[in-house]
Amino acid sequence: MNNSGIIYSSDHGLILGFHGCDQSIRDQIITGQMMLKASHNNYDWLGWGMYFWQNNYARAMNFAKNRPGKNKIASPAVLGAVFSLGNCLDLTDQFYIGQVRSSYLNLIESLNKVNTPLPKNKSVSGAPSPHNKILRGLDCAVIEALHRQMIDMGEIPYDTVRCVFIEGNPIYEDAGFYDQTHIQVCVRNPNCIKGFFLPRTESDNWSTAA
């Protein structure tokens, strides 16, 4: 179920990810005093796990400064991470897209048996782009259902989930490019994370004079 049979469907390289959080939490994680906690909200976009913006420091900082909901971050900061995708449910790959579609159909069938309504993706009033549904109850349920099915079948769940999100508003009239497009990675298996780091800014002082 988790193997397309094609050797190119797994990315074995290392990836840089960025996570927006409070400065105190960032510092404790970098110094090894605590571990980044996995998110377990029923509206998480890619299911449960630790979330990173792939190669997108600016978006992580923007999230930290403008966190949705009432719980604002007092001292916005960005945590850097180096990780591998491992066995990835990669929603840029046709094979894995098909798996998620099948999980959706299975979820409908199972919920109908117990007369339970299907969760919904919802927009939030006051959001910068109100047409974007940022509470992904349906998507989260579908992905979690897929992982439960894998466990029930005796298979190892995916280590990570990755997806490109076309979000925001067109950057010019009739554009196919949107101003909040990004790649998110949800790390389910913490062993994929090789280390955390404090992001640094570019410096012109690159000489190695002794």
Give the pLDDT score at 126: 61
Over residues 97-120, the pLDDT tens digits come to 999 999 999 999 999 999 999 999
User: What average pLDDT score do residues 142-156 get?
Assistant: 96
- Indicate whether 129 pLDDT > 90: no
Going through the chain in order, the beta strands assigned E by DSSP cover 14-22, 50-54, 76-84, 88-90, 121-122, 135-136, 160-165, 182-187, 193-197
Over residues 65-103, the pLDDT tens digits come to 988 766 889 999 999 999 999 999 999 999 999 999 999
Structure tokens belonging to residue 188: 């389910």
Cα separation of 92 and 10, whole Å? 11
Mean pLDDT of the chain: 89
Give the pLDDT score at 2: 47
Give the pLDDT score at 1: 47
Give the pLDDT score at 124: 74
Give the pLDDT score at 200: 87
10 Å CB burial of residue 210 (0-12, 13-18, 19+) is: exposed
Q: Which residue has the higher pLDDT, 83 or 9?
A: 83
Give the pLDDT score at 171: 94
